[in-house]
Amino acid sequence: MTSARSGDVAAAVTPRPFYGEFAWAYDYLVERPVAEECAGMADALARRGIGPGAALLDAGCGTGRYAIELARRGFAVTGIDRSSELLAEALRRPVEVSARVRFEPRDLLALPAGAGFDAIVCRGVLNDVLEAAERTAVFAAFARALRPGGTLLFDVRDWDASVAGKTAQPVWERRVAPRAGGSCSGASPGSTPPRAGCSSPSGTRSRPGPAR
């Protein structure tokens, strides 16, 4: 176990293979209507006077699909994540020439003060920050990284519903067509699966986790 420290707060980090050795399978297993959700974020930001050209931080960007879509919509996006494996997947994504997006390895508690972001988007990430002191530290870091009057968009999953769902279905598996063709099925925690293996066993997360 490792920790990331900001002031007197140390955020415990439990290894999660879904963010590490199985990072390559993340987008296969966690499908999201990314374009639709980013359109909603853009609309919410526009109502606050934040539009194309604004500096936006995707805090906990994972595989980069939201960061790249928001950049496609004209935002200047910085995506950060603590997982080097997820960031490697982000860097493999095709990006339009005109899109302004970059990715950095960084912890939420280590955001630079005075960065002056117009907005921060943090979706599917705070579910992994469970202690009150840690969440307080994360929001303080957000405040330091935003410009005065900046906007924070975030979500938090319903914990009880997540626990109930994971209890009822501890192992979830699906078959998809991988990048190189063929099929995806069955990977088990603790093993190194072939690139075509796609399975989300209960061992891949220590807690019900987010969809990035």
What domains are there in the chain, each with its CATH number? 2-156 (3.40.50.150), 172-203 (no CATH)
The mean pLDDT value for 66-89 works out to: 94
Distances (CA, A) of 34 to 40, 48, 72, 123: 10, 21, 12, 12
pLDDT digits (tens, 9 = 90+) for 93-134: 889 888 899 999 999 888 888 899 999 999 888 777 777 888
Residue type, position 37, single letter: E
Better-scored residue on pLDDT, 178 or 102:
102
Q: Does 26 or 182 have the greater pLDDT score?
A: 26
The conformation of residue 33, written as its DSSP 8-state character, comes to -
Q: What is the 3-state secondary structure (H, E, C) of 66-104?
A: HHHHHHHCCCEEEEEECCHHHHHHHHCCCCCCCCEEEEE
Q: Does pTM top 0.85 for this prediction?
A: no
Q: What DSSP state is assigned to residue 145?
A: H
Residue with tokens 């595989």: 63
100-105 β-sheet, strand order = 100-105, 76-81, 55-59, 117-122, 146-154
In this model, does residue 70 exceed pLDDT 70?
yes
DSSP string, 151-171: EEEE----HHHHHHHHHH-S-
